[in-house]
Amino acid sequence: MGLIDHYGGFNWDAGNRGKNWRAHKVTDREIEEACRNEPFLIYPDAEHSELEERWIIMSKTDRGFPLFGSYTIRTNRVRPISFRKMDRKERRAFDEANEGTT
């Protein structure tokens, strides 16, 4: 059960559709895959939760591409904010947290 299974879909609009491709070469489809796949790690993004509660997710696409992303929940939908490839430290933390689960 991935992150998205707890919500009613994704909140895409002109403000966030395609934004991560331009900034980080991550497609909207890859973001959706990472939010559907297991294993994943989620934790609060307290540093960026001033106006609304934000979360960090670390997961992989269907092809195994490791993503680090931030999102919020709006009207029971996942609204992606920023997704990029995990850096080496994040990848190590993700792999260590999921040892024995894959």
pTM confidence score: 0.90
Is residue 46 pLDDT above 70, yes or no? Answer: yes
Sheet holding 66-74, edge to edge: 41-44, 54-60, 66-74, 77-85
Pairing relation of β-strands 77-85 and 54-60? unpaired
Is residue 102 pLDDT above 70, yes or no? Answer: no
Contact 102, 39 (CB under 8 A): yes
DSSP, collapsed to helix, strand or coil, labels residue 33 as helix
Is residue 48 pLDDT above 60, yes or no? Answer: yes
Q: Give dist(CA 27, CA 41) in Å, integer.
A: 20
Contact 33, 62 (CB under 8 A): yes
